[in-house]
Structures are given as structure tokens and as C-alpha cells.
Amino acid sequence: MHEYSIVDSLLQLADEHARKNNAKKVTKLEIKVGVLSGVEPDLLQTAFETFKEGTICEEAEFIMKIQPVVVRCRDCGFETELKKDEYRCPKCNSGNLEIIDGEDMYLMSLELETD
């Protein structure tokens, strides 16, 4: 279950940014999770709620934005979000697709309280 190690890394990163900015706590942590990232959002939420206790993120709101798969057709250049079980360009019907979003997880923003 790699969600626990992901949360550990997020908490360390949040702590590092809070210290650099002389913040006493993190009030919000927002991430983007691609549907092909291999991260299970429900498990990530549970892991965050479990491991944030006793950290600078203890009172932080955890916001996850789920990023669908976005592809670009290498034949016609059309960009679109793919729905489940679609593997062809909806414009030209080519299967020559490049994934341009939806495979990664990113820390998008942190809200810090400094006073």
C-alpha cells in the first residue's frame, strides 16, 4: 500500500515549506491525482487522516482533484479527455495517442498560517 509512503512524503514536504515560511501550521493541502497514477484516492484520504495527527498538518483540509486522462492524437493533433474504455481518437479514429495528463500526482498548493 504505497499511499502511506506518499502521505509521508507529502507531510514532509508540507513541513519543509512551513518551516521555510515561518508558518506554525498548514491549513490546506491540495493535490492533483491522475486516474492512471496508480494512487487509490480513498486509501490516500484515509492515510492522510491517519498520519496527519501530531504533525504541522494536523488541522489541514486535504483536497484531492482527480485528473482524467488527457490525450493528444499524434496523427491529427486533436486533444481530448478519454472516457473509460476509449482508446481511439474521437476525431480521426486513430489509435496513435500520446498521454499528456492523468498519469501523475502533484502537490498543487499549500495554505500556511503564519500568525
Q: Binding site, residues?
A: 2, 73, 76, 89, 92
Q: Whose CA is closest to 28, among 40, 18, 43?
A: 18
Residues comprising the binding site for Zn(2+)? 73, 76, 89, 92
CA–CA–CA angle 105, 110, 113 (5° rounding): 160
CA atoms within 13 A on the CB side of 69: 19
Q: Are strands 25-34 and 61-67 parallel, antiparallel or unpaired?
A: parallel
Residues comprising the binding site for Ni(2+)? 2
